[in-house]
Structure formats: structure tokens, C-alpha cells
Amino acid sequence: MSRLVAALIATGSILLPAQAFAHLGLTSPVSRYGPDVLKTGPCGVTGGERTTNVSYFEPGETIEVRWQEYIQHPGHYRIAFDEDGVDDFVDPSTMMELYSNEAVLLDGIEDTGESDYRVSVTLPDVTCDRCTLQVVQVMYDKPPYEPGGNDLYYQCADLVLKAGDPPDAGPMPDAGMEDAGSVSDPDAEGGPDSVDGTGGSGCRAVAGGDSAGWWLVAFLLWMTRRLARVHRLPL
């Protein structure tokens, strides 16, 4: 009977849909690829392109950048800006190097061990149609540090800085799918529909599941106990 219980639990676990999240997820401005594409610089995946997840702001506007850390690592964060693509983004040459070049807007942001982070950042006073905001997590617990190695996680947001109202994007997306300040950019190149292991994180955590699946497991356990009582079998 104990083997039957184990088999039933294993079956229920397989039926449970789980969503995998990575260490660092940019939530505002909206992330280019989402929280699970962050392993390869400068924006999470090799050869990445702009997507239709575009956020519009005024030149020189002060915005709130928000992200979540799903798996804790000691370290710090940096925020950088490129007004024409991503070629200005450079990795810190050492683990503790701050403000590597002029693209860095804010550096040395302490990893406090919390899951939610919010910082105010003033964007450059420039007009740009293909600018990019980058958030980098520098981790301290994977020595020796090597630029472009396993010590950095990357998230990017595609921006447009232009005076005036953003173009009409039509109906707003469902809550939680896209930041309210973001609209689809008809001129942007499409990003990857799916990403293989070159861009994903090697360390993942289950962040959520389907409650219906857990009810199924509970039901299977209840049925097992009922059968054990009827047939007087030990669990």
C-alpha cells in the first residue's frame, strides 16, 4: 500500500502545472522578454532584438523602475541606458566595479534580501525611438568573478523617449501582462517566441501552481485512505 500511495502522489505531482521563474524579473518598465530570459548579456538572450513591448516616456522624465528577485543572491544591482540599441552596455570588469561607463545611470543598488525593489531613475534628456533600459544583477556568491560569466543576470526594457502623448495602442492588455505605460511598437522587430537554454536561467524556482491540481492530489490521498480502511491494509 505504501507503494500505491507513492505512485498516486507522483501522478498528482506530474499533473500539477507549475510556472518557473528566474532570479530577476523586471516589472516596470515592461521587460523585453519576461523574467525567465536573463542569462546572456546585454539583455538576456544571445542575439536578442527589440520586441513590441515598448514603454513611452518624456525626455528627462523621472520614472520608477521596479523588479522582483525570485531567488535570493547576495550582490547589488545597476541600471543603465542606451539611446540607440544596446552597444553602450558593458559588464563591470570586476565584481565591485561601479559606474563602468557613462551609460550607467545608477549603480551599487543594495540587494537587501527583499523580493520587491523600486528605485527612482531620471532618464537622459534626449529624444530616441530605439532606446533601451538595462537592469543588471551582480552576484557575489559565485567566485571567481568573470565578465560575461555566471555572475550576472540581465533584464532590458525597450523605450521610446518623445515629448507628447504616446500613440494610441488600442484596447489595454489584461492586467499583469503589460505595464500601463507600454504600448505596442509597430516598427519594432519581433523577439523570439521561445528561448532555448542559451538564454534561460540554470537555477529556477517554482513560483506558483494550479489549485485544481492540489485538489486532485488531496482527492487521491483520500481515496487511498478509504481503500486502506476497507481492505484493512497498512499505509
Going from N- to C-terminal start, the domains of the chain cover 2-15+210-231, 22-203
Architecture of the domain whose range is 22-203: Sandwich (2.60)
Tell me whether strands 116-122 and 104-110 are parallel, antiparallel or unpaired.
Answer: unpaired
Tens-digit pLDDT profile for residues 82-126: 999 999 999 999 999 999 999 999 999 999 888 899 999 999 999
pTM over 0.85: no
Taking a C-beta distance cutoff of 8 angstroms, is the pair 158, 57 a contact?
no
**For residue 8, pLDDT beyond 70:** no
Mean pLDDT of 202-216: 40
**For residue 176, pLDDT beyond 60:** no
